[in-house]
Amino acid sequence: QQQVKQSPQSLIVQKGGISIINCAYENTAFDYFPWYQQFPGKGPALLIAIRPDVSEKKEGRFTISFNKSAKQFSLHIMDSQPGDSATYFCAASHISNSGYALNFGKGTSLLVTP
Amino acid sequence: NAGVTQTPKFRVLKTGQSMTLLCAQDMNHEYMYWYRQDPGMGLRLIHYSVGEGTTAKGEVPDGYNVSRLKKQNFLLGLESAAPSQTSVYFCASSYSRGFLNTEAFFGQGTRLTVV
């Protein structure tokens, strides 16, 4: 059963626009919520991560918004660029769950058009 | 500093053949993981290890075995390959800081086709 649900499955945004990807989880024990970026033929790489004691974290053009009561978190990419075109995965983990193993969403394929 | 290295990068197997995928990390990480990635399914955990000499089953362990004889290496074995095991396999490693988990580093993947 999918412990982290991600939407949308695919997203097309114009250059300069805002990309928004949403995730929801059920396990309230999760205490680490990273986003991974994956380019074709490459392994996933950490983009940004948040812990549940804060509601927002920003790194450059990338922001995570976290809503603990709703058990939801989202990734916002401001001023989206063609180089941001990739697959994005949200994930969640906790030490009690398979040794910190990440539970991934199914991924969002982002295309930023020029 | 190579990070996480997977060998081989590509492989084609016939149904019933066996093979071993090797993962090596040079970051002295305690935790290591094997995931498989299939279209539209995200990454699913096959097996994991919380330290040298220990392994445990993940979400989709059937048809796979693993071993962690050395801290830096994590091997994934397929004893009798099936077409359903056609996938891209990723190894990852991480460490904990106290009871908090930290970034997981992924290898470049192994693309396996079983015909």
CA distance A83 to chain B (A): 19
| Tokens matching residue A2 | 């999918």
- B54 beta partners: B51
**Region of residue A78 (left: phi > 0; alpha: psi -120 to 50; beta: else):** beta
Cβ contact B112:B54 at 8 Å: no
Cβ contact B46:B84 at 8 Å: no
Is residue A98 scored above 90 in pLDDT? no
Q: Give the residue-averaged pLDDT of A83-94.
A: 95
Confidence (pLDDT) at B114: 98
Q: What is the pLDDT of residues A30-49, one digit of tens each?
A: 989 999 999 999 999 999 99
Is residue A113 scored above 90 in pLDDT? yes
Confidence (pLDDT) at B99: 62
Confidence (pLDDT) at A101: 87
Lowest mean pLDDT among A79-83, A84-88, B55-59: B55-59
* Chosen from A51, A102, A103, A108 to mutate, greatest number of chain B CBs within 10 A: A102
Is A6 within 8 Å of B42 when comparing Cβ atoms? yes
Is residue A99 scored above 90 in pLDDT? no
Is residue A61 scored above 70 in pLDDT? yes
Confidence (pLDDT) at A68: 95
- Residue B6's closest chain A neighbor by CA? A43
DSSP label of B108: -
Cβ contact A104:A3 at 8 Å: no
Is residue A21 scored above 70 in pLDDT? yes
With 0-12 CB in 10 A as exposed, 13-18 as middle and 19+ as buried, what is B20? middle
Confidence (pLDDT) at A94: 85
Confidence (pLDDT) at B1: 62
What percentage of chain A exceeds 70 in pLDDT? 98
Per-residue pLDDT of chain B (115 residues; tens, 9 = 90+): 679 999 999 999 999 999 999 999 999 999 999 999 999 889 999 999 999 999 999 999 999 999 999 999 999 999 999 999 999 999 999 987 666 677 899 999 999 999 9
Chain B positions in Cβ-Cβ contact with residue A107 (cut-off 8 Å): 40, 42
* Chosen from A7, A100, A106, A108 to mutate, greatest number of chain B CBs within 10 A: A100
Alpha-carbon dihedral sign for residues B9, B21, A98, B104: negative
Is residue A87 scored above 80 in pLDDT? yes
User: Nearest-5° angle of CA A68, CA A47, CA B57?
Assistant: 75
